[in-house]
Amino acid sequence: MVRDGTSLARRLWLLAAQAIAVAAGLLIAWRAFGPAPAAPARTEVVALRDAPSEASALRGSEARLEAGFWGAARKAAASVVNVYTRTAPPRRLPEWLRPYGEPDGAVAQGASSLGSGVIVAEQGYILTNNHVIEGADDIAVMLPGGKVAEARIVGTDPETDLAVLRVDARGLQPITFADPESVQVGDIVLAVGDPFGVGQTVTQGIVSATGRNRLGINTYENFIQTDAAINPGNSGGALVDTAGHLVGINTAIYSRFLSAWPGT
C-alpha cells in the first residue's frame, strides 16, 4: 500500500505548524520569565600567540637553514623594543658634604640606562627584565619604526627578574611563543636586543644547556644557557628559535670576569 501524497503532505504541514507554534510559545515564555541576561564583564582579553605545532614547525626547517635566518630575525625584530629609563637626580649636597675633588657648582645628573623588551600582546604589553626598570622614575620605549612612547609599569616580579610594561600604541606586532618543551640542547637560537645602545642587533648561537639554576642571580632560576653573544643592553630582549618564536628572555652575562652580571 502506498499512502496518498496529498493527504500525507497535509498531515506533515499541520505537524510542522504545531511544532513551530510550540517553539514560539516556549521562546516567548523564556524571554518573559527566564533569567535576565548577564551584563557583559568589562574585562580586557589579552591573547598571547603560540607557535604552530611541532610537525608544522619542522616542515621547511631545511629551507630556513639554506636561506639563512633573515626571516626569523625580521619577524622577531618587529616585536623587540628598546627600553630607556631615568632616575631623578639627587638633591645637591652642601659644600662640606661633597666628595673630595668634585668641581664647584657640579650637580649630579639623573642616571639613564638602556635595555630591551618584547611585545607580547597587541594591546601594548611588553615583557622585560625587572632589573632594567627597577627604581626608574621615567620609562620610555622606542618601538620598531623609531616611534617613542611613554611606558608604565603593570607588574614586577623580582624573584624571577621579570616585569611587564604597557604603552599606548597601535599596530604593534606581538611575538609568538614557542612550546617550552621544544627547546633542546643544540638548537640554533638568535638573540635580539639593543646592546650598548648602538641599535637593534641580532646574534646567533646554539642552546648550550637548559634548566640552569643555583647561579645566585634570581630566587627562582630556570635559565637557558647559550653561546649567542649577549652584551649590556640585551637584557629584556628576545631569544628566539629559527622560526622567530620566543624561547626565552635575555637576562644575564655569565663569565669568569663578570660572574653573573646583568645584561643591562
Cα distance between residue 224 and residue 250, in whole Å: 9
Q: Percentage of residues in the chain with pLDDT exceeding 70?
A: 62
Min mean pLDDT across 92-96, 144-148, 198-202 is at 92-96
Residue indicated by cell numbers 643591562: 264
- CA of 132: how far to CAs of 30, 112, 141, 251, in Å? 57, 11, 12, 10
With the C-alpha atoms ordered 254, 257, 262, 264, is the resulting torsion angle positive or negative? negative
pLDDT band at 14 (very low <50, low <70, confident <90, very high): low
pLDDT tens digits, one per residue of 211-256: 888 777 777 788 899 999 988 889 999 999 999 999 999 988 876 5
According to DSSP, residue 45 is labeled -
Cα distance between residue 15 and residue 167, in whole Å: 61
- Active-site amino acid positions: 131, 161, 235
Q: How confident is the model at residue 131, as a pLDDT?
A: 92
Q: How confident is the model at residue 20, as a pLDDT?
A: 43
Structural domains in the chain, CATH included, are: 47-89+108-264 (2.40.10.120)
Report the predicted TM-score, pTM, of the whole model to 2 decimal places: 0.69
Min mean pLDDT across 84-93, 95-104, 223-232 is at 95-104
Q: How confident is the model at residue 252, as a pLDDT?
A: 83
Which helix H or strand E contains 172, and what residues bound it? none
Cα distance between residue 155 and residue 102, in whole Å: 39
Work out the mean pLDDT of the chain and round it to a whole number: 76
